[in-house]
Amino acid sequence: MMLYFKKIALVVVLLIIPSIVLSQTEQICKDLEGKWEGEKVGTGYQGSITIIFKNDCSYSWLRADASLITYGQLSIKEKEIFYSNQAGSRGNVFKKDSELKWINTFTGNSYSVIVKKFL
């Protein structure tokens, strides 16, 4: 009888945890949705940058003249935010208040992007 309850408890936990994680991810994506502006420094394009987020954590990086730099997708794992983009760059995104800092930690650590939410 005890084994039966342990199995039920395990099934319940396995169903609840993914729902909680999905809910947290959806909330983070919803909070990021919209327009962010700032600067990119380091290798490649340098200068003013605008990042447009959709509510599914997909994004587009745009130059000051609104031409596309790249597009990509965020992934959230255990409260850490990671990015990857069509240009081949991957790294971490750090959020502090209304600021995002992107660092290509997995592909050279050669640039950073700092943007703030445009209201």
Reported as a single tens digit per residue, the pLDDT across 54-82 is 999 999 999 999 999 999 999 998 889 99
> Residue 14 belongs to what domain range?
2-117
pLDDT-based confidence at residue 47 (cuts at 50, 70, 90):
very high
Give the CATH number of the domain where residue 23 resides.
2.40.128.50
pTM above 0.75, yes or no: yes
pLDDT at 72: 97
The alpha carbon of 82 is separated from its chain's Cα centroid by a whole number of angstroms, namely: 5
Q: Number of folded domains in the chain?
A: 1
Stretch 33-60: mean pLDDT: 95
Helical residues (DSSP H) of the chain, grouped into ranges: 2-32
The sign of the torsion formed by the CA atoms of 6, 8, 11, 15 equals negative
pLDDT at 21: 41
